[in-house]
Structure 1
Amino acid sequence: MSGEATTASGPSVDLRRRSLRWPALDLAGRFSGRWPGLLALYLVSRVFSTTILFVVYEVATLTGAAFVTPGSERSFLDFTVSWDSDRYRTIALHGYPGTLPTDAAGEVLPNEWAFLPVFPTLCHLLMVATGMSFAVASVLIATAAGAGAVIVLHRLLEPRVGHRSAFWAVLLFCFGPLSYVLSVGYAESLSLFLLFSGVLALQRRQYQLVLLCGVVAAFTRPGALALALALAIHLVVRWRTERASLDRRELTRIVVAGLVVAAAGLAWPVVAHLATGEPDAYLQTEMAWWVDYVGRPDFVPLTPWFLLAGRWLGVAGIALVLLIIALAAWWLSRRSTAQLGHEVHGFVVSFGLYLLAVFLPQQSLFRLLMPLTPLLGSRAIGERPWLRRSLLGTSLVLQPVAAVLLWLYVAP
């Protein structure tokens, strides 16, 4: 009797334990890595994000809140193409200014030269082909590119860390605090699709495709130089580990791809110079956004983070930046991070260095960190249920908070 009771109780206890689990947490087991399942997950996340933005818009409208971007109060669709998207609209409809706008003191004001041309050009072409408005065209292109980024992200991570860790990286990407920018009139989703595709091509040693993705990415959003540095890291790794099998033709492809992507990443300032006649038109334009934070200092690479932190927090700010760098170096040096493969590892290190070298931290920092998403595929996250659940829960809570703070008060 006792043996039978023990045997019978085992499955019942197991069933009770399973019933206590949050069903959504077993999504990795329910979804395969095939694109239909990933697209279904992405669609659910877009409904969630869009609903949040719609609620924010409706509440702001009912309470008489002031919309900062002119015209964004007309409709919800106009609301989704405010802030940076308003700049892309101007480019799509009118192109770039021939002269830099300045204030009464002759200082350059924020203008469209800070925004790269691929996204607004695609919007313009779709508008001409279909007759649709910029608002509709930009949202469609951004949302479609986001879907592509989701699929490529999973393809990039699964061979290294397995389906579960790759799936959780995708899940956190889709529902992250700033993930609503994947389906509004921003270029982020297109840039992420191109960068992730470039790293995937690098992983598969398709260097011509790396070159193509890198060049297009260079004219979509700043940051493609990180892909060029990742190519250099890839070359060093292959030279050290596969020198005997690395023939001259393949070596040439890697070097050419790296040089062309690097040249493309540095080309936009030259274009701005030629179009406006101002040698530093692009740099002046970018630094016009710095004025409210640090004034108009001379630009020195690798100093912006320290400049801002020292300006507002003094010595404590400098110490904080050093602590952030140390924590980032620690995380990147972990074995679980290295397991992502040197291609992914090299890219995220390169992109982190790029942000440290040229970007002044402000509210847009959070969406600019999105290219580092492959780090979420680390087994240190994927194999720790409490950590991945905590990250997902925190993301779901922070997304509406971010939508209110960044969409109504400061540019996201």
Structure 2
Amino acid sequence: MADGSLTRPAPAPSGSRGDAWRRLPVAARIAAIYLAARLVTTGFLLLAARASTAESRFGESPSLGDFVLGWDAQWYWSVAVFGYPAVPPTSDSGDIAENAWAFMPVYAHVANAVGLGSWGAGALAVSLASGYLACLVLYRLLRLRQDESASLWAVAFFASAPVAAMFQVGYAESLFLLLLFCALLCVALRRWWWLYGVIPVLAFTRPGVLALALMLGLYGIWRWRRRAVDPLPGAEIAHIVALGALATAVGFAWQLIAGAVTGNPQAYLETELAWRRAWSDAFGVFVPFEGWVEAAGIWFRLWGMPAWMGYAALVLLVAAVVGMFFAPPVRRLGIEVRLWAASYLLYLFAVFFPQSSTFRLLLPLSPLWGAVAAPRSRALRVSVLALCLLGQAVWIAAMYGSGNRFWQIP
């Protein structure tokens, strides 16, 4: 003992815990990240259930199954069990009321098939599995432009995002994101033939494929302008044009189907407007971009401020969004991600009315997490992850623990 050998720290092992983590296959590491995120979300949901009262939408002591089947999941369940109404319900004013035509059929029926008699179990399984697969594809998409560390952190942000409860409730978001990321990856890798199968399924999972049609058009223009340095063969031109036309056609197909079944060509658009009319009588017909202008005034008046401040805030928001695309971390994500983000944001501005569901509707912009994860600062990355989890806790408490206010709709 005189040499003190028993009191000195043992030498570090040749392989550290970090080395063991890096030796795992990427799919296993993403599975670990995703599982940890889902356990945290489950904890938040359990806390929301404990805090739920008789005044809550879900009542006292709801189960996790109640949350799975809550909110829009009821509409998807209705689609799977009853289908779509040939005669849409109407309100006291004679306008078409909220009904199942606002919800696409793919997720509803896939969940029904997977559940083997229990739609809720099938919905949970499809959402969970699609969320994990979406993480894998998102990682693959980001790795085309980023290193492994940034891509994994982006996946962690995505899996833990403030609205990550969507990965384990009966909503179509998880499946839509999986299909969307597959489509973006196919464009980035120029695997055109796969898109002929992905795009129609995407179109009938939830709205948004028209943004992909715009993205393909812009992508074709970008490729044409760069053809001197990046050759654009005739076969690729044909694919881009054909796929853009396909995305446009299937993007409008649901309106045509709803019109054919109900005998009312405006049945789908009037169904979507039914949710807006609860906010304002101004929504008689659909007018692109009207929703955001109306909402700017409505929300600021609800907050006790003059409407003009809402319009000014809207202008500043648009300017900030445009400026975002010039930020170096966003530019480094690649043209495919940037064109998709721009197209989808324009689509949102054109067709949606911003309210509490807007946070959920931002999920298709998730490839932009790559820009957030780009800085190599571990402290910054951990801080972003902590903010994601804090936002998730607040969002779940509001939407599922309470859900009894007009701004508590996921």
2:369, 2:173 → 1: CA distance?
A: 18
Three-state SS of the structure 2 residue aligned to 1:147 is: helix
1:411, 1:155 → 2: CA distance?
A: 33
Q: Which of 287, 293, 301 is the aligned partner of 2:279? A: 293
> What corresponds to 1:179 in structure 2?
164
Give CA-to-partner distance per residue, 1:372-399, whole Å, 9 cap, x none: 1111101674334443222211111121
> What corresponds to 1:139 in structure 2?
124
Three-state SS of the structure 1 residue aligned to 2:277 is: helix
Give CA-to-partner distance per residue, 1:276-332, whole Å, 9 cap, x none: 111111111111111222234232112211111123431110110111111111111
Q: How many residues align?
A: 383
Please tell me whether the aligned partners of residues 33 and 163 of structure 1 are also in contact (alpha carbons under 8 angstroms). Answer: no
Please tell me whether the aligned partners of residues 162 and 395 of structure 2 are also in contact (alpha carbons under 8 angstroms). Answer: yes
Please tell me whether the aligned partners of residues 89 and 134 of structure 1 are also in contact (alpha carbons under 8 angstroms). Answer: yes
> What corresponds to 1:338 in structure 2?
331
Matches within 5 A, 1:100-179: 100-127=88-115, 130-131=116-117, 133-179=118-164
Alignment of 1:78 with 2:66, yes or no, is: yes
Cα RMSD for the two superposed structures: 2.3
Please tell me whether the aligned partners of residues 108 and 288 of structure 1 are also in contact (alpha carbons under 8 angstroms). Answer: yes
1:205, 1:311 → 2: CA distance?
A: 44
Bigger drift between 402-411 and 363-372 goes to 402-411
1:78, 1:28 → 2: CA distance?
A: 39
> What corresponds to 1:9 in structure 2?
none
Call closer, same or farther: CA 1:28–1:331 in 2, change over 3 Å: farther
2:20, 2:376 → 1: CA distance?
A: 12
Give CA-to-partner distance per residue, 1:328-353, whole Å, 9 cap, x none: 11111222211111111111111111
Alignment of 1:53 with 2:49, yes or no, is: no
Call closer, same or farther: CA 1:324–1:31 in 2, change over 3 Å: farther
Please tell me whether the aligned partners of residues 33 and 154 of structure 1 are also in contact (alpha carbons under 8 angstroms). Answer: no
Structure 2 counterpart of 1:77, which letter?
Answer: G
1:39, 1:258 → 2: CA distance?
A: 34
Please tell me whether the aligned partners of residues 87 and 112 of structure 1 are also in contact (alpha carbons under 8 angstroms). Answer: yes
Q: Which of 375, 378, 381 is the aligned partner of 2:371? A: 378
**Alpha-carbon distance, 1:206 to partner:** 0.8
Matches within 5 A, 1:244-255: 245-255=231-241
**Alpha-carbon distance, 1:155 to partner:** 0.3
**Alpha-carbon distance, 1:212 to partner:** 2.2
Matches within 5 A, 1:381-396: 381-396=374-389
Higher helix share: 1
Structure 2 counterpart of 1:289, which letter?
Answer: W
Call closer, same or farther: CA 1:121–1:53 in 2, change over 3 Å: same
4+ residue stretches of structure 1 with deviation over 3 A?
Answer: 26-33, 72-75, 379-382, 384-387
Structure 2 counterpart of 1:332, which letter?
Answer: F
**Alpha-carbon distance, 1:74 to partner:** 6.3
Alignment of 1:271 with 2:260, yes or no, is: no
Structure 2 counterpart of 1:346, which letter?
Answer: L
2:281, 2:122 → 1: CA distance?
A: 36
Alignment of 1:347 with 2:340, yes or no, is: yes
**Alpha-carbon distance, 1:100 to partner:** 0.9
Give CA-to-partner distance per residue, 1:167-198, whole Å, 9 cap, x none: 11111111111101111111000000011110
**Alpha-carbon distance, 1:126 to partner:** 2.3
* Same amino acid, percent of matched pairs: 36
2:201, 2:380 → 1: CA distance?
A: 36
1:121, 1:80 → 2: CA distance?
A: 16
Please tell me whether the aligned partners of residues 164 and 382 of structure 1 are also in contact (alpha carbons under 8 angstroms). Answer: no
Structure 2 counterpart of 1:34, which letter?
Answer: V
Task: Structure 1 unaligned segments of length 5 or more: list them.
Answer: 1-11, 16-22
> What corresponds to 1:317 in structure 2?
310
1:326, 1:359 → 2: CA distance?
A: 19
1:33, 1:266 → 2: CA distance?
A: 41
Bigger drift between 380-389 and 330-339 goes to 380-389
* TM-score for both structures, normalised by structure 1: 0.87
Call closer, same or farther: CA 1:114–1:155 in 2, change over 3 Å: same
2:154, 2:86 → 1: CA distance?
A: 43
Task: Structure 2 unaligned segments of length 5 or more: list them.
Answer: 1-8, 301-306
Alignment of 1:89 with 2:77, yes or no, is: yes
Structure 1 counterpart of 2:31, which letter?
Answer: L
Please tell me whether the aligned partners of residues 49 and 62 of structure 2 are also in contact (alpha carbons under 8 angstroms). Answer: no
Call closer, same or farther: CA 1:27–1:296 in 2, change over 3 Å: farther
Please tell me whether the aligned partners of residues 52 and 403 of structure 1 are also in contact (alpha carbons under 8 angstroms). Answer: yes
Call closer, same or farther: CA 1:83–1:44 in 2, change over 3 Å: same
1:334, 1:207 → 2: CA distance?
A: 29
Q: Which of 239, 248, 251 is the aligned partner of 2:224? A: 239
